[in-house]
Amino acid sequence: MIVPRLIERKRDGDKLTSSEWLELIHGYSAGDVPDYQMSALLMAVFFRGMTRTETDALTDAMLSSGARLDLSDMAIPRLDKHSTGGVGDKVSLVLAPLIAELGVAVPMMSGRGLGHTGGTLDKLESIPGFRTDLSLAAARAQLDRIGCALIGQTAEIAPADRKLYALRDATGTVEAIPLISASIMSKKLAEGLTGLVLDIKSGSGAFLPELDREIELAKTMIELGADRGCPVVALVTAMDRPLGDACGNAMEVREAIEFLRGHSPEDLAAVTYALGAEMLQLAGVATTHQDAQLQMREAISSGRAAERFRAIVAAQGGDPRVVDDLSLLPSSPLRAEFRASRDGIVQRVEPRAIGHGVVALGGGRRTMHDVVDPAVGFDIMVKPNATVTEGDVIAIIHAADDAGVAIGHSVLDAAISIGDAPVDVLPLVSHRITSDAVEQLQ
Amino acid sequence: MIVPRLIERKRDGDKLTSSEWLELIHGYSAGDVPDYQMSALLMAVFFRGMTRTETDALTDAMLSSGARLDLSDMAIPRLDKHSTGGVGDKVSLVLAPLIAELGVAVPMMSGRGLGHTGGTLDKLESIPGFRTDLSLAAARAQLDRIGCALIGQTAEIAPADRKLYALRDATGTVEAIPLISASIMSKKLAEGLTGLVLDIKSGSGAFLPELDREIELAKTMIELGADRGCPVVALVTAMDRPLGDACGNAMEVREAIEFLRGHSPEDLAAVTYALGAEMLQLAGVATTHQDAQLQMREAISSGRAAERFRAIVAAQGGDPRVVDDLSLLPSSPLRAEFRASRDGIVQRVEPRAIGHGVVALGGGRRTMHDVVDPAVGFDIMVKPNATVTEGDVIAIIHAADDAGVAIGHSVLDAAISIGDAPVDVLPLVSHRITSDAVEQLQ
């Protein structure tokens, strides 16, 4: 295998064979293929795409680069939810304890910040002491005990994907359907699931702002799952504005805990319950969507879901008192108000600009080895179509220093626009996609 | 500067500003921008191209990343020749001593193997003891003393280009006009030249097999030179078959020394003298093409050019006895004959396949850090339109081991084809390009 020749072939529109993909990915995983060759290949894939056979080969190569969770002897269903990545998306932090509380094992494996979107691992690690680097054996023991483990990809699981994920983030090669599909499914297939729900983000803040490409992405993952014994259902949800109010690692944990204690922004609740209902039905725990909704709301209002989260935090080395005392989460030294510049109606809260803004504040990665500041971010108190008056505080900037505050202001100036007329926004949940059909919901 | 954002912008068809290119290139040179980001950016450039303003900025950024040779106080003209890279191209090894012997200073800065083509530095370093890592001060002193220095890019000269050159080689991002132009011109402009002759290879073995792209490349470099006070003339020469017989580092040095001693394959002599004549006329040393040819042939036949090469080898730490005793050059442990498989007329000797074959034998680089075996390669004794009889020895494989011999056979099987009818080949020198015109010669 002469890697520059393979890169040239892909670059020039040729397809690589399954054994070439296997050799490339295992070689990359072993360190024999360097980052700089892989990133050039990924950029060529961005421009040239991959055939279904190539995507299959890439998925299997990444899956076989590591170990799997064997949960086949567990008596209860095993479900996970995966999002294609959004801004302000703290749904996983709520759903994991909530669904586990309702009798479904949730072996949730998450990633780190990628592109302009946040990562669940980075968010969890803002809880003092919280460890996501559990071994598979430890995760299995925790699943048996409390029905949920929130883990990262350790060296054991799809190590090739883990390396690629970080590399793509740093090299502008995130937004390619075959790479996204293979990355997600190689991890999910290693979790020993009996079912998977996908949250496919749509709109300007999604990886793939065009809806038809989003649906292509969902179908690719549904097929990859179906061929490998894991039924998958996907919902398309809105990412033309941030989800919920908080954007930034610790701030999003705070909002998730408030949700588990019974207080959530409407949009976050709607998306979370819709995805949770699909999980509970796929698991056979709920018979209808309404049944699922009632079970979830009861688990929240009774405090049981928050208790489950406390157990998970404690099991993974975190300080369980954060569930009751949010001041134990990291907070930024500086907070600055951002005010409406005029009377009017909010037109846009541009999630991509907000996401890049969190990175600019230090809350995300520019290169693979950057350290994330958990405390920084934005609290945005308005949504598109909100009526505002000049001088209203519409957002709070959480920054590490004065330079961060200045960056935050310029980010929000660009991201939030105010006009005179109401605007169209995407429905919170627009489509439901299964292996049989694409159903429009709203 | 958030590098992944710059990569994404270039990827999506936007152009980067001059200051962004400057910051990227100086950052890459300083190690702040890692290889894996630069290779992804280069692949995006491959697909998207660069504007003339971007190419100017890239050239100036690479030039300003290091020092320059200041030769402005030298009384004699300073000329260099640069080839876009071919297979079997040992013209520089002959021209440097030959032109220096005729009263022109030749501060020749060369590169290493890139893609399927060899590099003059790798060839020179096959001479026992020969050092190409002269400081600029040492090169200047040697130019004053013997009129020629054959140097590599040390850390002093265009260090950003040096790093990029090696990276492109390993990442399938060689064949892009703005990258080739800026790479060549940033080095040449650092040499303090009063003129430059370009050897633009055309045909299947050239970086850019399409002639119109070759001419675009030449024009880009001519403009870059003209804007910066260095007149440039380009010849388009044939690279639809290897130049001369030898392909491989030490083997090519051997053929160059034989040329300096008065014996050369016809094709190699024709191309070398054509390029040399342009140098001598640009320097004002010869008044006409015929005058230049006579001066060069006299310098060869008198032995003066070979003597000048001996002086250069000695000055740069090499064993000057190689000029008289070719057995002092590295030679491979195994040599195997390759025979014609049938009677007929040679149709193709495919240079790209031969060049990749030399790499496969160990004589070139697959990644930036590979060590080159100087001894391996091919001696190919036939050209297209040669008449051969089944069983004729038409090539010799020089290999390190039996595996290399087997590789060599399969390379030559694929690279050399024999048929029944004569074939068209490219003229050895087809076009002459100046800032005014593109003139067809044959």
Q: Is residue A74 part of a domain?
A: no
Residue bearing tokens 């060899």: B118
DSSP three-state, residue A190: coil
Q: Distance between CA atoms of B291 and B307, rounded to whole angstroms?
A: 22
Amino acid found at B252: E
Same domain, A322 and A337: no
User: CB–CB of B40 and A115 under 8 A?
Assistant: no
Shared domain for B39 and B175, answered yes or no, is: no
In this predicted structure, the answer to whether residue B369 has a pLDDT above a threshold of 80 is: no
Nearest chain A CA: its distance from B62 CA (Å): 20
Q: Which of B40, B169, B367 sits opposite A43 (nearest CB)?
A: B40
Task: Using the predicted structure, report yes or no on whether residue B442 has a pLDDT greater than 80.
Answer: no
B171 shares its domain with B94: yes
pLDDT at B115 (0 to 100): 66
In b/e form, how buried is each residue of B107-132, taking b as 16+ CB within 10 angstroms?
bbbbbbbbbbbbbbbbbbbbbbebbb
Neighbouring-strand partners of residue B335:
B398
Q: Are A362 and A253 found together in one domain? A: no
In a domain, B116, yes or no: yes
A226-261 exposure pattern, b = at least 16 Cβ within 10 A, e = fewer: eeeebebbbbbbbbbbbbbbbbbbbbbbbbbbbbbb
Task: Identify the pLDDT of residue A114.
Answer: 64
* pLDDT(B209) > 80: no
CB A105 within 8 A of CB A71: yes
What tens digit of pLDDT does each residue of A96-116 get?
Answer: 999 999 999 999 988 777 667
Q: What are phi and psi of B33, to 5 degrees?
A: -100, 115
Residue A218 has a CB neighbour count (10 Å cut-off) of 26
In this model, does residue B162 exceed pLDDT 90?
no
Question: Given A82, A112, A123, A310, which residue is catalytic?
Answer: A82
Q: Residue A333 in contact with residue A400, Cβ under 8 Å? A: yes
Mean pLDDT over all residues of chain B?
94
In 3D space, the residue among B216, B221, B250 whose CA is nearest the CA of residue B233 turns out to be B221
CA separation for the pair B162, B173 (Å, rounded): 14
Comparing CB atoms, the residue among A40, A172, A356 nearest residue B171 is: A40
CB-based contact (8 Å) between A43 and chain B? yes
Nearest-by-Cβ selection for B4 from A36, A42, A172: A172
User: pLDDT band for position B155 (50/70/90)?
Assistant: confident
For residue A109, give the nearest of A76, A142, A134, A91 by alpha carbon: A134
Q: Which of B32, B171, B173, B367 to mutate to test the interface with A (most CBs of A within 10 A)?
A: B171
B281 and B342 together in one domain: no
What value does the mean pLDDT of chain A take? 94
Q: Check whether B368 has a pLDDT greater than 70.
A: no
Strand partners, B198: B82, B234
- Token digits of residue A29: 């995983």
Higher pLDDT pick, B435 / B388: B388
Lowest mean pLDDT, pick from A18-27, A184-193, B85-94, B408-417: A184-193
What is the band of A84 on the pLDDT scale with cuts at 50, 70, 90?
confident
- Asked if A40 and B43 come within 8 Å (Cβ–Cβ), the reply is yes
Range of weakest confidence among A101-115, B243-257, B337-351: A101-115
Half-sphere exposure of A188 (CA within 13 A, CB side): 28
Catalytically annotated residue among B65, B92, B126, B183? B183
State the ipTM, two decimals.
Answer: 0.71
Please, which residues 368-397 of chain A have a Cβ atom closer than 8 Å to chain B? 368
Catalytic residue among B168, B254, B308, B365: B168
Element (H, E) at B429: strand B429-433
> What are the pLDDT digits (tens) for A23-54?
999 999 999 999 999 999 999 999 999 999 99
Q: Which of B10, B78, B81, B82 is labelled catalytic?
A: B82
B246 bridge partner residues:
B379
Spell out which residues of chain B touch residue A167, defining contact as CB-CB under 8 Å.
36
Nearest residue of chain B to residue A169 (CA atoms): B4
Tell me: do B170 and B311 sit in the same domain: yes
A340-354, A376-390, B28-42, B167-181: the lowest-pLDDT one: B167-181
Q: Which two tokens stand for residue B354?
A: 């031969």
Chain B residues with CB under 8 Å of A169 CB are 4
- From the list B38, B171, B356, the residue facing A7 with the nearest CB is B171
Q: What pLDDT was estimated at residue A368? A: 63
Contact yes or no for A40 and B5 at CB 8 A: no
Q: How far is B164 from chain A (nearest CA, A)?
A: 11
Catalytic residue of the set A83, A183, A186, A264: A183
Averaged pLDDT, B360-377: 87
Q: What is the CATH number of the domain that holds B345?
A: 3.90.1170.30
pLDDT at residue A366 greater than cutoff 80: no
pLDDT band per the 50, 70, 90 thresholds, residue A394: very high
User: Mean of the pLDDT values across residues A305-316?
Assistant: 98
Same domain, A175 and A308: yes
The string of pLDDT tens digits covering residues B287-304 is 999 999 999 999 999 999
Average pLDDT over residues A76-104: 96
Query: Is residue A72, in this structure, part of any structural domain at all?
Result: no
In a mutational test of the B interface, the residue from A36, A163, A365 whose CB has the highest number of chain B CBs within 10 Å is: A36
DSSP structure string for B327-372: GGS---SEEEEEE-SSSEEEEEE-HHHHHHHHIIIIIS-SSTTPPP
In the prediction, which pLDDT does A110 show?
Answer: 85
Q: Do A12 and A115 belong to one domain?
A: no
What is the rounded CA–CA span in Å between residue B163 and residue A220?
39
Q: How many residues does chain B have?
A: 442
Does A4 contact B at CB distance below 8 Å?
yes
Q: Is there a single domain that holds both residue A345 and residue A306?
A: no
3-class SS of residue A204: coil
pLDDT of res. B117: 75
Task: Give domain status of residue A249, yes or no.
Answer: yes
pLDDT at B60: 94
**In-domain check, residue A65:** no
Quote the minimal CA–CA distance from A209 to chain B in Å. Answer: 14
Looking at B187, B352, B356, B365, which residue is catalytic?
B187
Q: For chain B, say whether A13 makes contact (Cβ under 8 Å).
A: no
Residue A275 has pLDDT above 80, yes or no: yes
Model confidence over A120-149: pLDDT tens digits? 999 999 999 999 999 899 999 999 999 999
Q: Are residues B321 and B337 in the same domain?
A: no
Compute the distance between CA of residue B298 and CA of residue B265 in angstroms, rounded to an integer: 18
* CATH number, domain containing residue B197: 3.40.1030.10
Same domain? A88 vs A214: yes
Side-chain-side CA neighbours of B6 within 13 Å: the count stands at: 23
CATH code for the domain of B27: 1.20.970.10
Is any Cβ of chain B less than 8 angstroms from the Cβ of A31? no
Smallest CA–CA distance, residue A182 to chain B, in Å, is: 20
> What residues of chain B lie within 8 A of the CB of A46, using their CB?
11
Are the beta carbons of B42 and A46 separated by less than 8 Å? no
B416 near B348, Cβ under 8 Å?
yes
pTM of the model: 0.73
At B272-331, the pLDDT tens digits run: 999 999 999 999 999 999 999 999 999 999 999 999 999 999 999 999 999 999 999 999
Chain A contact set for B366 (CB, 8 A): 2-4
pLDDT band at B391 (very low <50, low <70, confident <90, very high): very high
Position A333 pLDDT exceeds 90:
yes
The residue segments making up the domain with residue A18 are 3-49
Whether A369 sits among the annotated catalytic residues: the reply is: no
Give the pLDDT mean for B156-174.
Answer: 88
Number of domains in chain B: 3
- Give A154-170 pLDDT, tens digit per residue: 778 888 888 998 899 89
Whether residue B322 sits in one domain with residue B214:
yes
Tell me whether residue A401 is in a domain: yes
Domain membership flag for residue B247 = yes
Residue A57 lies in a domain: no
